[in-house]
Structure 1
Amino acid sequence: VLLEKTRGGTKVLNAGIRLVPEQHKAYDPELIGKPLWVMAVKELMREMKVNPKRVKNLITGLNGTNVSVKQITTMDMPEDELFSSMTFEARKHIPMDGSDAIIDFQVFGPNPKEVDKIDVGLVACTKKVSNAHIDLLKEVGFTPGIVDADPIAITNAFGNANEFPEEGAIVLLDIGSVSSSLVVWGRKDQFFTRDIPIGGYHFISDLS
């Protein structure tokens, strides 16, 4: 999706979709590797008449079990100590592959129920996963920019187009090919996400 930021908001300039693999070919997610993804993205860019090398402010997303998005309640502490604490916490929630954890976090504010504690939004993946994603983008010809986590991106996209209610929670479900992302969030509720290893591929397989 190609977007332009305007004074009134955001304008969609172009959008496209590319099947992987091509239509009328059997789909097996286990057989789709990096070469097929690179080829599909390059072909999509040609169809949309977009030169990857000229794309500015690229934003891509990571999803699945390789990335973790959690709301953590912890003791209030200096930022350097909080970074160490969140790095330790991240290792509990992502499958470690021999590489270091990459984390980002944001302090939401004081926990409304526990004194001297804060709520922190934590996003984590491993360096190996991040490098593989960035290498794919470079092979297509892009200059890597922001790498977001899909649950965060989905929530932000919804929030930019809609007002979150003062009471209750919003439930967002993004059904992908082999996995789905569930997000539950409200202004007064904990931010909850869950990666579900079921997607459109499994629905079709069970029905066929």
Structure 2
Amino acid sequence: MKVVYFVVAILAVTSSVVSAYDPSPLQDFCVAVKEIDGVFVNGKFCKDPKLVKAEDFFEHVDPANTNNPLGSQVTPVFVDQLPGLNTLGIALARIDFAPKGLNPPHTHPRATEILIVLEGTLYVGFVSSNQDGNRLFTKVLNKGDVFVFPIGLIHFQLNVGYGNAVAIAGLSSQNPGTIIIANALLKATPPISGEVLTKAFQIDQNTLDYLLKQSWYDNN
């Protein structure tokens, strides 16, 4: 009997974990449309299947302009850019880097990310949770190398080569979300209390005032 209870407990836990991710589709496709017309699935309305075209599953991604303070630019291909992704549980992004360009520390609250380098050399890494001691895992990647960033963990990519770099990120959600750590803390609307930030970072108000005046560019 104890074995039965144990199995039931495991099934309950795993089913709750699975429900936290994008649900599996029960139809061939559910192309997202903005109009309020059709079935509402995963936060989007479904286009009438009889009106679906090949273009609904197609998107062209050009190289991005990296002339910005970070020297990088992320071009997302999420459900908002590619309606055919709706209910399929995947997305991707192209990341362009100028020399020394940085995709700053950020998280994807709803997705694991797998990155492949198409050109250049990247120094990449992620930090584990408090539970695991905030350990830093890093690797230098060259063309053809692949690296995985677990769901929800803070991670980054830095171009350490002498030329431009390009990478493609695959994500395990049609809408993974992105939280850039510095921007979220220092550009929140309305602002986070200075008392909170000075105590959190163990800095004085003058240092905080200096940080708050910076541009904190959003490359997504």
**Fold match (TM-score > 0.5):** no
Larger Rg: 2
Compute the TM-score of the two structures, normalised by the length of structure 1: 0.25
